[in-house]
Amino acid sequence: MISAAVTADGRGSSIPEPEYLELLTAVTAWVEGPGEEWAGIIESSGSVPDALWKELRGAGFLSLAAPAELGGRGLSFVQWMGLMEVFSRSHASVRMIVHVVNGTWRAMNPYADADQRRKFVLPSVAGDLIVAFTLTEPGNGTGADITASVQRTGDTYYLTGRKHLITFGVRCDYWLLFARLAGSTGSRGTVALLVDRHAPGVEVEDTSETMGVRGTDHASLTFTRTPVPVANRLGAEGDGLAVALGGFLTPSRISVAMSCVGLAQRAQQLAVRYALDRTTFGKPLAARQAVAFALAENAADIEAARALALHAAQAWQDGTANAGSLSSMAKLTAVDMLTRVTDKALQVHGGVGYWKSMPMERVYRDARAQRFEEGTNEIQKTVIARGILGRAQAPSADAGLVPESAAPAVRP
């Protein structure tokens, strides 16, 4: 039996270095082998086959980050970021699956009671239950101004409202959905609910036709007095935004930052290979100073962003006060880096890089999605600025830790 005292976020977990290096080798081999084959299938079909989910689950890739007490592999967060870096060199939908499934449990577990842990958290960690994080709404931001509302009658909430840009919102088994008590304002009236994908009174619109990250399904949802058992509420009434943002957003932003690093590495890898293979006027492109300098700038850019992402990961793992600010710094820096690197990598390819027959074309499209996942650059700057100004105004206070509920999270 899993007790309520189990480690909530897994920060105390780790595996021995030899075991980790063996796992890193296995993940790298999968990404460079079967992962590349799956990338072609996803791009040609426009969807992620059920067989890929089954393969990822069977390989244990969907339960890497959770502690062993929850059925996970028990990696430390820094170790997990090392694997996210590698997964992110694969197709963006592969990265999205392992990122989301290995992270959603962090939002649920600290607030789950024993029954909810058995029903939702453990199956989610095992990859047997897909839980879609359902916060974003079409008519407002994604923080304390959410408008989807519930009215309680006895042991049932009745949910009314809209959500959109919900990753895995079509495929999922449950929506981890955030709403407010009817008539309430601010964060104190918010609730976190696990809503059955097949509950009555729900209209699901598939909105998966995106520029990049092909294959990952997204949904627009409309709820009309959809019944949700009160037993499916995580935490107490008023804990909704704490569930959504408190223990989830900071590590997720760091994970997106490391995803940018991995995808940039893939772009650089493709550019270097092309520069060495392509000959013009009797010389390989790599012999041209302009091309060599672009590759050198990319390499420095990638290493700098990687170092900051790992620094933020270590800070969150250690529970330091400025982890929230550092997560936004890492995400902001890595996103801007990815934009520069993929632009130069495409330029090295010349016109041929613009054709869908080239892997670089997909990498370039996929990179754009990172600019709004877990908050736009403008949101990250807001979080960072609050930390800076807070420390200046109250130098003795823990101003480096910006309350994560102070800034919204935008999920694709």
List, by residue number, the catalytic residues.
374
Calculate the alpha carbon distances from 92 to 110, 260, 262, 344 in Å.
29, 11, 11, 20
CA atoms within 13 A on the CB side of 374: 31
Collapsing DSSP states into helix, strand and coil, what is residue 177? strand
The structure tokens 């993940």 sit at 27
CA 394 from chain centre, in angstroms, equals 33
Calculate the alpha carbon distances from 69 to 120, 122, 290, 300, 314 in Å.
15, 9, 53, 40, 22
**What's the CA gap between 197 and 99, in Å, rounded?**
21
**What's the CA gap between 89 and 359, in Å, rounded?**
11
**What's the CA gap between 71 and 153, in Å, rounded?**
36
Q: What is the DSSP letter of 47?
A: B
Q: For residue 89, report the phi and psi dihedrals to the nearest 5 degrees.
A: -80, -10
**What's the CA gap between 181 and 176, in Å, rounded?**
16
